[in-house]
Amino acid sequence: MTLPRHQVISGTESELRRFGELIQGLDDGAWAKDTRCAGWTVADVAAHVVGTFSDIANGRFAELGAPDATERQAAERRGRSQKELADELQQSAESTLLLASSFDDDAWAGPAPAGLPGTLGEGAEAIWYDAFVHADDIRAAVGLSSESGPGLLCSVSHLADLLTREEWGPATLVLDGLPEIPVSGGGGRRVTGDPLHFVLVATGRADPATLGLDDTVNVYRPQ
């Protein structure tokens, strides 16, 4: 399942506006806090998200898909302030969203650039998901409450695509407040519960046993 083009573009725009407001509102103590992303501070997580959109805005798609991309993005911005990253994000987001708006539905269903996996639409959904989940990492680190919003549906949709790619299931995600989302064709086990908790479980951030699942649901587990 991939969300419609207009929904992903508008949702990403809103997500990035909130992400910029989130990081710009943090003091230096919060900026230095450790997160549930092992070895990364809040500043590192923010730098990765900003770096992703900078790579896209500057056409660095091959670098974006490299194994060391996340570490590079964080390292390139280490020592920069909250305002500096928020300003870079705003500039990169404008270019990225303008580029996304230039694609039609055929391009959206076509391959992602530079040999990245999946379709262009799946890739666009992935970067919205990434911003949403990392915003929650930051909120958790600094003691703020989690937020839901449209990014939650995007995240579950993207994780369903990743799980389908890994041939997990078949299953149907029947999560609170969201439409049913099939995994590997649907049917099979019906996974219920809180959608944000499912996102945390499926990304290795929470114990899968709390949803009656095992570690195979973690899309980031070692292969």
53-107 confidence digits (pLDDT tens): 999 999 998 898 899 999 999 999 999 999 999 999 999 999 999 999 999 999 9
Residue found by looking up tokens 């660095």 in the block = 60
| Ranges of CATH 1.20.120.450 domains, the chain | 5-142
How far is it, in rounded angstroms, from Cα 33 to Cα 44?
Answer: 10
CATH class of the domain at 5-142: mainly alpha
Answer yes or no: is pLDDT of 223 > 80. Answer: no
How many Å separate Cα 157 from the centre of its chain? 11
How far is it, in rounded angstroms, from Cα 121 to Cα 105?
Answer: 9
Give the type of residue at 97: L
Q: What pTM value is reported for the model?
A: 0.95
Cα–Cα separations (whole angstroms), residue 142 to 31, 99, 147, 204: 8, 33, 14, 20
| Ranges of CATH 3.30.1050 domains, the chain | 150-217
Answer yes or no: is pLDDT of 22 > 90. Answer: yes
Write out the E strands in the chain. Answer: 171-175, 181-183, 189-193
CATH class of the domain at 150-217: alpha beta
Answer yes or no: is pLDDT of 1 > 80. Answer: no
CA dihedral 51, 56, 59, 61 (to 10 degrees): 90
